[in-house]
């Protein structure tokens, strides 16, 4: 293969495109945003990820990577578009359907179609396959169809795309082998082959496992609050047991993976996925608990100034997707809890909030609500906290 088309130039599509280009492939990146296309073609990036800017700049300058609003004939097509929610926590696969429809006019016998987007079980067989068959293609006979879920950590994507083990699920065994040929050209980790539905489920199960464990920690924090116990001390002591490893609670769960993927399983098997559903409900309910704690603290002031520390969904990144911190900030503003000062050191602006610097927030806020364990917040002089009411949802203070 020489020509590869990647549809969707977000947190997965763009790093994958740049690494493929670095390996010598001619890569066409496709995105629906003209701004994204123009940014990449100028050798720049629209998302924050360590080293990604260097890869993209080199790939564009070498002529190996370019971006477009529309796909073109290629030997392999990688679909890395969003799979968000519709109403009722139901997966919205319209982007996957649109991407598949967009490449069909360019498909030729022998082409490889890969779905990288995290998707509900049977997306390949029930969504993509019918569209391909309607166009006259039969995966496993004249073209190849596979699912290869990503499993990378924001902030370490450029390394993990290459080093992590990969699961490749083919619609047929031949499809899986064909996809393996491509991934083996840049993946150093072991590559494991299975069927497409199992591969789709693997990604969802990985994040559901993490979600269930986080929910246990978050539920402990609620119980400890009711019993007036220090949840951080409790967990520290319980974890002294050689076979116990309780995670740390937080303000909720965010990101496009853990906060989303379990609902795909629940939607597919609503009567059976009881534990997974309950874990999601526990974690989705944690922001409301934090808001109540802030509202109680605000009652002590006539005109309280509330400092919100962090909007990202996890520490030391600029990724705000599904962030519980943003939900909490919105709800506090909706309830008129007080004057909000929002500090997010990894963002220069936000469409909904005027961002403040950390020094000003620490000086003016009556109540400090720590929602993200950024390194900048861990280094705050504890003396500055003493006059404040502090609500630390991450346990760093």
Active site residues: 203, 257
Q: How many residues does the chain have?
A: 397
Structure tokens at 351: 């469409």
Any residues with CB less than 8 A from the CB of 309 and at least 6 apart, and which? 343, 358, 361, 368, 369, 370, 371, 372, 374, 377
Q: Which of 219, 337, 236, 208 is nearest to 289 (CA)?
A: 219
Is residue 41 within 8 A of residue 28, CB to CB? The reply is no
6 φ, ψ (degrees, to nearest 5)? -110, 120
Question: How, if at all, do strands 85-86 and 90-91 pair?
Answer: antiparallel
Radius of gyration of the chain measured on its C-alpha atoms: 23
Angle at which helices 274-298 and 196-227 pack, to 10 degrees?
Answer: 40
CB neighbour burial string for 166-205, b if at least 16 within 10 angstroms, e if fewer:
bbbbbbbeebbebbbebeeeebeeebebbbbbebbbbbbe
Is residue 320 within 8 A of residue 311, CB to CB? The reply is yes
Whole-angstrom distance, CA of residue 314 vs CA of residue 329 = 15
Burial class, 298, CB count within 10 angstroms (exposed 0-12 / middle 13-18 / buried 19+): buried
Q: What single string gives the DSSP state of each residue in 50-116?
A: TTHHHHHHHHHHTTSEEEESS----SEEEE-----EETTTEE--HHHHHHHHHHGGG--TT-EEEE-
Q: Torsion angle of alpha carbons 295, 298, 300, 303, nearest 10°?
A: -140
Q: What is the DSSP letter of 384?
A: G
Query: What's the CA angle centered on 11, arms 64 and 277, to 5 degrees?
Result: 150
Whole-angstrom distance, CA of residue 265 vs CA of residue 200 = 10
């Amino acid at each position: 293969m020489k020509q590869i088309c990647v549809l969707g130039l977000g947190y997965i599509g763009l790093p994958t495109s740049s690494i493929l280009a670095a390996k010598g492939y001619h890569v066409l990146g496709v995105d629906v945003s003209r701004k994204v296309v123009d940014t990449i073609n100028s050798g720049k990036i629209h998302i924050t990820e360590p080293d990604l800017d260097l890869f993209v700049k080199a790939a564009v300058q070498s002529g190996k990577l370019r971006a477009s609003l529309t796909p073109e004939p290629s030997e392999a097509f990688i679909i890395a578009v969003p799979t968000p929610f519709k109403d009722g926590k139901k997966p919205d696969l319209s982007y996957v359907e649109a991407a598949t429809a967009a490449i069909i006019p360019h498909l030729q016998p022998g082409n490889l179609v890969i779905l990288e987007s995290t998707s509900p079980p049977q997306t390949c067989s029930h969504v993509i396959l019918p569209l391909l068959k309607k166009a006259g293609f039969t995966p496993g006979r004249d073209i190849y169809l596979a699912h290869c879920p990503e499993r990378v950590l924001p902030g370490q994507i450029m390394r993990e795309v290459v080093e992590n083990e990969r699961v490749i699920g083919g619609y047929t065994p031949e499809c899986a082998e064909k996809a393996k040929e491509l991934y083996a050209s840049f993946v150093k980790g072991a590559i494991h082959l299975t069927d497409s539905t199992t591969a789709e489920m693997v990604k969802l199960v990985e994040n559901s496992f993490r979600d269930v464990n986080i929910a246990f920690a978050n539920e402990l924090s609620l119980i400890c609050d009711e019993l007036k116990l220090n949840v951080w001390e409790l967990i520290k002591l319980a974890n002294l047991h050689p076979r116990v490893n309780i995670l740390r609670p937080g303000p909720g769960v965010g990101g496009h993976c853990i906060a989303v993927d379990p609902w795909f399983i629940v939607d597919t098997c609503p009567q059976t996925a009881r534990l997974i559903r309950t874990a999601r409900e526990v974690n989705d309910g944690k922001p409301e608990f934090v808001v109540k704690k802030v509202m109680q603290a605000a009652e002590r002031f006539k005109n309280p100034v509330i400092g919100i520390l962090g909007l990202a969904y996890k520490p030391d990144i600029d990724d705000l997707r599904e962030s519980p911190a943003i939900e909490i900030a919105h709800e506090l503003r909706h309830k008129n809890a007080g004057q909000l000062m929002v500090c997010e050191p990894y963002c220069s602006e936000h469409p909904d909030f005027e961002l403040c610097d950390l020094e000003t927030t620490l000086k003016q806020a009556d109540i400090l609500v720590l929602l993200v364990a950024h390194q900048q917040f861990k280094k705050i002089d504890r003396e500055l906290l003493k006059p404040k009411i502090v609500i630390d949802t991450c346990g760093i203070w």
